[in-house]
Amino acid sequence: MAKEPLFFKDTGEMGDVFAAAKQIIEQTRLSRDERARVSAITGERLNQLTGKFVEYDTINAENTEYKRRIHELRVKLLKGELTGDDAKKALDALASERDALQKKYGDLVGLLDTQMKNIDSELESLDKRKLTLTAERDQYHSALHMEVKWIAEGELKEISALTETLQNKRKSLVEEKSLIFIKKDELSESVSLVDDVIGKKSKRYIAADDARAHELNFIARFDTKMHAYPVKIFSPHEGMTYTVTEWKHHYHYDSGTAADAATKGATDAGIPNMPLNAGSVYTIDEKDLKYLGKSRKKVVVEAFSYCNTVDYTDLGFDTRMVTMSALMSVLAPIIQRAEEGDYFHALGIASPTGWDDPAITWVKGEDSGSSYMSRNVAVCLVDSASGEVYYNPNDLRILSYIDYFRPEFDLERVEKMKKILRDEFANAEYLEFEKIYEKTKEDRFIIERAFYALEREKVGRVKFAEGVGLVFLR
């Protein structure tokens, strides 16, 4: 019996093999040419789109110079070297400069918008090209078209790299735009820096020594609380709470420029007496796998003090509350880093001169929860002189961190509450727990501990009354 052919079964004809070969060669050549063409065009466009704005640096330099002159004016006014009228005249002279800067920033925003639009359309055309190439790559399964497939694959890789570059550039443009808005706000507020001094609107005077003391106090208390193990750290992204018994990643920092100024203004004892905008950071890092892999940040808890260090250096004191635009310029890079690293960052920022009303309203979320600025960052503001803490009570992410940022220890809070209760008790027959809570807004456990502490001191006794709750009576 004849052996059955394995390959030469003659199930069909090859047809015009030469024509097919020529077609494949031509197609490969066209793909190669097209790729070279697209690559050249895209390269050129990319250079245009990712190029740096020269105007941005120039305008920023002008803005710095303008700010320096305003600051000088303010310092002279505060030192009594300039009368109110003279300051007003000088301020009026600077008005046109301010308006011009604001206009330039406005134009720059327009430029950024155009560039973002161009990037968007470039991303769109890259997407289309990607679709064509994917179809080309997947169209052929024969080894004969390997070259066409390789060319398509090569360009697809290039496209994904280009797309990433463009997306990163777009992201940085969005950030630049938000920074420009902050700078515009700062410009609008710049007049009030001098106006407030002329109208004597400043509510608080904080000397450099006091500011430094508040700063040290805030950071030291925060550090103490963060070392009262076990420390519970809530991670909203993971929906879990870490129990920390030892900090592996912790550091302190302060701003270099302020530190230099502080050293220059050091007292005779050689101890810096200027606030340093010091901060303390605790991080929880986890590896990708249980024991192997790259370590990634999961939660960062940071407390830092924020002062107008330039004023402390030049005047030795400060009267300005931290404004909304200053707060935003501090938060912008923090948000950017947290979003890039995709970790949760809980922030407590303390200011010895306090916070202005817009900043407080914003952080408390009174304008329909507007303090929710990022999925990755939650913030609370601390007035380190008065001890007040401002945060959004509806933002569950920050609630568990408030006690760490609060400048008082629990015992101090209980003592303070005991004093309030004693004063109230002097004029009343009994004190209702709920009414005290309504009045003071202090944590319930603090009021409860104060009630029982007073009972131990034989000031009165605690009783549970049906329908009323806990009561303190004689």
The answer for residues whose C-beta is within 8 angstroms of residue 31's C-beta and 6 or more apart is 136, 148, 151, 152
From 30, 111, 135, 144, residue interacting with another protein (rule: CB under 8 A) = 144
Note whether 327 and 373 are within 8 A (CB): no
C-beta neighbour count of 186 within 10 angstroms: 19
Q: Tokens in use for 68?
A: 């320096």
Residue 3 contacts another protein per CB under 8 A: yes
Residue 12 contacts another protein per CB under 8 A: yes
Question: In terms of CB distance, is 15 or 80 closer to another protein?
Answer: 15
Q: Tokens in use for 65?
A: 């110079």
C-beta neighbour count of 56 within 10 angstroms: 17
From 1, 5, 52, 270, residue interacting with another protein (rule: CB under 8 A) = 5
Question: In terms of CB distance, is 24 or 453 closer to another protein?
Answer: 24
From 17, 54, 292, 426, residue interacting with another protein (rule: CB under 8 A) = 17
Q: What are phi and psi of 93, to 5 degrees?
A: -65, -30
Question: In terms of CB distance, is 3 or 52 closer to another protein?
Answer: 3
Q: By rule CB under 8 A, what count of residues binds another protein?
A: 23
Provide, rounded to whole angstroms, the least separation between the CB of residue 141 and another protein.
11
Residue 1 contacts another protein per CB under 8 A: no
Residue 13 contacts another protein per CB under 8 A: yes
Provide, rounded to whole angstroms, the least separation between the CB of residue 31 and another protein.
13
Note whether 79 and 315 are within 8 A (CB): yes
Question: In terms of CB distance, is 158 or 175 closer to another protein?
Answer: 158
Residue 21 contacts another protein per CB under 8 A: yes
State the binding string over 283-312 for another protein (x if CB under 8 A, else -): ------------------------------
Cα–chain center distance at 306: 14
Question: In terms of CB distance, is 22 or 264 closer to another protein?
Answer: 22
Provide, rounded to whole angstroms, the least separation between the CB of residue 139 and another protein.
16
CA 303, 305, 306: angle at the middle one, nearest 5? 130
Q: How far apart are CA 456 and CA 470, in angstroms?
A: 16
Question: In terms of CB distance, is 5 or 270 closer to another protein?
Answer: 5
Residue position matching structure tokens 């009343």? 428
Provide, rounded to whole angstroms, the least separation between the CB of residue 300 and another protein.
53
Residue 25 contacts another protein per CB under 8 A: yes
State the binding string over 94-133 for another protein (x if CB under 8 A, else -): ----------------------------------------
Helix axes 17-50, 84-139, angle to 10 degrees: 170
Question: In terms of CB distance, is 24 or 332 closer to another protein?
Answer: 24
Give the closest residue to 362 by CA, choosing from 345, 349, 376.
Answer: 349
Q: How far apart are CA 449 and CA 447, in angstroms?
A: 5
Residue 246 contacts another protein per CB under 8 A: no
Give the closest residue to 331 by CA, choosing from 374, 395, 278, 282.
Answer: 374
Residue 22 contacts another protein per CB under 8 A: yes
Residue 141 contacts another protein per CB under 8 A: no
CA 300, 305, 306: angle at the middle one, nearest 5? 115
The answer for residues whose C-beta is within 8 angstroms of residue 80's C-beta and 6 or more apart is none
From 1, 14, 292, 426, residue interacting with another protein (rule: CB under 8 A) = 14
Residue position matching structure tokens 């004190």? 431
The contact set with another protein (CB under 8 A) reads 2-3, 5-15, 17-18, 20-22, 24-25, 142-144
